[in-house]
Structure 1
Amino acid sequence: MRTRLAIKIHSVLERYFPERRVFLKSDSDTRFIRLRPGTQLFVFAGCSALVAWAIIATAILLMDSIGSGNFREQAKRDQSTYQARLSDLSAQRNGRAEEAAAAQERFNAALKQISVMQSELLASETHRRELETGIEVIQSTLRDTMKEREAARQKLAALEGGTGENGASTTQTAQSSAPIDILADALARTAQERDQVVIDAQDALLEAEELSQELALVRDQNDAIFRQLEEAMTVSVAPLDKMFRSAGMPTDRMLETVRRGYSGQGGPLMPLSFSTRGEDQSPDTLRANRLLNQMDRLNMYRIAAQKAPFANPVKNAFRFTSQFGFRRDPKTGGRRMHNGVDFAAGNGTPLYATADGVVTHAGWSSGYGRLVKIQHEFGIETRYAHMSKLRVKTGQRVSRGQRIGDMGASGRVTGVHLHYEVRVGGKAVNPMIFIKAANDVF
């Protein structure tokens, strides 16, 4: 069976690969090499495999080249899109900054107007009290005058009755006419004084009514000013309050910390008080004090915003390569917690502090590579890892926007990038909360 199979295979090979001889001739001898069908088949198979490998390798190189070109084009498009997004965010930030500046100017103008209106209100209140006191004095004088006039009338009637009843002589009538003339003159003067007092009282009442109308107008103006100020305060304070709450910071405790460490000139705004006798405050006073409290809160928010890391550590063009949370480890492939966000850019890209603080570590730290830790207010710490160069030292005080190092690939990494962490009370939180909150306000 094997011999027959071998003969059939050999006959098939002879059909496609007949035996050939290659003659090699020299000056003195002639030799030949016999190429059997099996040898020819082996050589043909080897050449076919070589050609196939060349074709496959060429196709792979072409596909890789095409894929690399597409990837570069996609990367350029992504970079252009991201730069356009950054430009939009920058324009929005500038617009909000201009709106905040305009709101601040409106607030300052309104505050000056409130001060003027309060002064006018105090002056009108003082004038009103003086008029009320004058009216009381006039009314008291008028009552006394009317009593005196009534008493004089009674005396005159008594004198006239006594004269008719007794039938006194002409001498007695002449003697009694003198007191009657005196009383008549006194009554005339009293009547004139009474009429003048009535006129003065009417004038005082008219003036009091005019003052009441002016006071009502002043109160309406004050109410309009208060409404504008309250709206301005709401527009100014609400975004800052939302920003801190979205960053997970306890606003009341944070503001109390800022207030304890307040060191600006003049100190915090004090509440208004127009009475030294312990009287209840007026509605306008209470309203003004609420506005002052909101102003103080706005001032505290602005101070806190300068002390918290509401900024971006990378100002050049970059892309996010890893977010906060659980992810597949790039080295081991296992599922691990990623305590920060990664910014990818060129080697040596400048890195900046996101808030004022003190450098607590500047050096090598295991998987972090070259690491900088900065301690900020309110128990917040920021970390900047995998640097190629450090530009600060431990114990150094830094400001927001100060350059602290260069982006690199030190430590446990797969490429050049910055690993940025934010920790509040020692616990890692998502840095994008601070970055997005800052973009929404500043």
Structure 2
Amino acid sequence: MRTRLAIKIHALLERYFPERRLFLRSDTDTRFIRLRPSTQLLAFAGSSFIVAWAIVATAILLMDSIGSGNFREQAKRDQETYQLRLNEISNQRDARSSEALAAQGRFNAALDQISKMQSQLLASETRRRELETGIEVIQATLRRTMKQRDAARLNIAALEATENGAGVSSLNGNLDATGVQTLALALAETAQERDDIFARAQNAVQQAEDMELELKLLEAQNDQIFSQLEDAMTVSVEPLEKMFQAAGLSTKSLLEEVRRGYNGQGGPLLPISVSTSGGELTPDAKRANALLNGLDRLNMYRIAAETVPFANPVKSAVRFTSGFGMRWGRMHKGADFAGPTGTNIYSTADGVVAHAGWLSGYGRLIKIKHANGIETRYAHLAKIRVNVGQRVSRGDHIGDMGNSGRSTGTHLHYEVRVNGTAVNPMKFIKAARDVF
């Protein structure tokens, strides 16, 4: 049975692959190689497989080359777009920084003007009270003088009646002509004094009216200044609050942290207010206190912003090569910036260096501890320029970009951690885009 099947298969193969012989002739001998149908079939199948494999491999290489070219072009376009966006963000940040500085200058100037206006108001109030006291004294003196005048007139009338009724002889016995003349002069002087006091009283009333008008003008000007300051305060504080909220930070906890760190006597957050020596606060005093409290809040926001990593760790032209999130099936806990070896790396916030050395896959790594449980990491460095325990400020040069550790090229791996949990660092950089 098997023999018949083999004969049939052999006959079928003979149709397509007839037996062939290859003769090899030499000078003294002739030999041949017998190519059976099964051998030819195996050779044909092997050749077909090799040709098919070559075609498939060539197609895969061509598709990979085309795909790589498209990917490189797309990456190049993304790089150019990102670079343009970075330049635009940098320009916007510089513009907002200039506006913030200008607003701060205007606020300081307005605050100085408020102080001057308060001094003028206090001086005007003092002058007004002095004038009121002077007017009261003048009025009392005037009333006393008028009483004396009336009494003198009664005495004169009595003297005249005595002179007409009793005769000159009896009057000479009690009052001579010299006494009458002296009394007349005294009455004249009293009348003149009365007129002078009345004129001074009128002048004092006019001055009081002028002072009242001046006080109203000062109050109107003061109200305008307060309105401008309140608007400037709103413009200055709201962007800072939005910046912290966009970064996912609680402004309440930030301000409490700043208060705990700056509660010493005579420090930058020493409470300030307008006092009225225990009396009830006037509306202007309340507005001034509200502005001073707003300035205190603005100052605390400024201090808090220095301790939060809102800045960019690289100021040179670099490529953003990888973001925060899943990459190749693993969690990428930071952002990667690629650039030339030795590119300066800067601290993104005030803090204390907690680590400055080699750490497994990170290579040369710098860890900086900031306030509010925030930590930043700068990995794969070529050189470290800070020491453990050193206090750094935002913008300080802390290291150079390199390719140390588990890295495929020169770049900076930048991380931000809040209470030990890695968060997207671009969230902080974007949050400060319209402020710094």
- TM-score between the two structures when normalised by the length of structure 2: 0.84
Supply the AA of the counterpart residue of 1:311.
A
Confirm or deny that 1:398 pairs with 2:398.
no
Say if 1:307 and 1:376, in contact at 8 Å, map to a contact too.
yes
Which residue among 367, 378, 383 is the counterpart of 1:373? 367
Secondary structure in 1 matching 2:262: helix
> What is the number of equivalent residue pairs in this alignment?
428
Which residue does 2:65 correspond to in 1?
65
Which residue type is aligned with residue 376 of structure 2?
A: T
Aligned partners of 2:415 and 2:422 also within 8 Å: yes
Deviations 1:121-156 (A, max 9, x none): 233223222222221121111111111122223323
Corresponding residue for 1:251?
A: 254
Cα displacement string for residues 193-217 of structure 1 (whole angstroms, at most 9, x for unaligned residues): 3333333222221221111111100
Cα distance, 1:27–1:429 mapped onto 2, change above 3 Å: closer
Letter matched to residue 351 of structure 1? I
What's the counterpart of residue 382 of structure 1?
376
Aligned to 1:441: 435
In structure 1, what is the equivalent of residue 320 of structure 2?
319
Structure 1 SS opposite 2:433: helix
Q: How does 1:216-295 map to 2 (within 5 A)?
A: 216-245=216-245, 246-248=248-250, 250-260=253-263, 268=270, 270-273=272-275, 275=277, 278-295=278-295
- In structure 2, C-alpha distance between the alignment counterparts of 1:21 and 1:428, rounded to whole Å: 76
State how far apart, in whole Å, the 2-side matches of 1:69 and 1:427 are.
Answer: 38
> Which residue of the partner structure matches residue 132 of structure 1?
132
Q: Does 1:83 align with 2:78?
A: no
Identity %: 62
> What is the CA-CA distance between 1:323 and the residue it aligns to?
2.0
Does the residue aligned with 2:24 lie in a helix, a strand or coil? strand
Of residues 340-349 and 77-86 in structure 1, the stretch that sits farther from structure 2 once superposed is 340-349
Distance, in Å, in 2 between the alignment partners of 1:431 and 1:184 is: 100
Give the letter for the 2:233 counterpart.
M
Which residue does 1:310 correspond to in 2?
310
Q: Distance in 1 between matches of 2:380 and 2:276?
A: 61
Asked if the contact 1:258/1:303 (under 8 Å) is kept, the reply is: no
Deviation of residue 106 (structure 1)? Answer: 1.2
Question: What is the DSSP-based 3-state SS (H/G/I as helix, E as strand, rest coil) of the residue aligned with 1:361?
Answer: strand
* Residue of structure 1 in register with 2:123 after alignment: 123
Superposition pairs of residues 105-124 of structure 1, within 5 angstroms: 105-124=105-124
**CA 1:15–1:262 in 2, change beyond 3 Å: closer, same or farther?**
farther
* Matched AA of 1:404: G
Rounded Cα–Cα distance in structure 1 between residues aligned with 2:336 and 2:169 = 127
1:305 shift after superposition: 2.6
SS in 2 for 1:247: coil
Q: Output the CA distance in 1 between the equivalents of 2:276 and 2:266.
A: 27
Please say if residues 345 and 417 of structure 1, whose CA atoms lie closer than 8 Å, have aligned partners that are also in contact: yes
User: Would the aligned equivalents of 2:380 and 2:401 in 1 still touch at CA under 8 Å?
Assistant: no
Deviation for aligned residue 1:81: 1.1
> What's the CA shift for 1:233?
1.8
Q: Secondary structure at the match of 1:362?
A: strand
d(CA) in 1 for partners of 2:131, 2:66: 95
Structure 1 segments of 4+ aligned residues over 6 angstroms from their partners: 413-416
Equivalent position of 2:352 in the other structure: 358
Give the CA deviation at 1:100: 0.7
Which residue of structure 2 lines up, in the alignment, with residue 408 of structure 1?
403
Deviations 1:83-115 (A, max 9, x none): 111111101100101101111221232223223
Contact 2:313–2:347 (CA under 8 A) maintained in structure 1: yes
| CA contact 1:258–1:300 (8 Å) conserved in 2 | no
- Closer/same/farther in 2, CA of residues 43 and 429 from structure 1, 3 Å limit: closer
- Specify the alignment match of 2:338 in structure 1: 345
Measured in 2, the distance between the counterparts of 1:174 and 1:389 equals 123
Report if the CA contact (8 A) 2:310-2:431 is conserved: yes
TM-superposed deviation, 1:117: 2.2
Relative to structure 1, the CA distance from residue 258 to residue 396 in structure 2 (aligned partners, 3 Å threshold; closer, same or farther) is closer
Aligned counterpart for 2:169 among listed residues 171, 177, 181: 171
Aligned: 1:198 with 2:198: yes
Q: Which amino acid aligns with 2:134?
A: G
Query: Distance in 1 between the 2:163 and 2:68 partners?
Result: 139
Gaps spanning 5+ residues in structure 1: where?
A: none
Q: Structure 2 vs 1, CA of residues 426 and 60 (structure 1 numbering), >3 Å: closer, same or farther?
A: closer
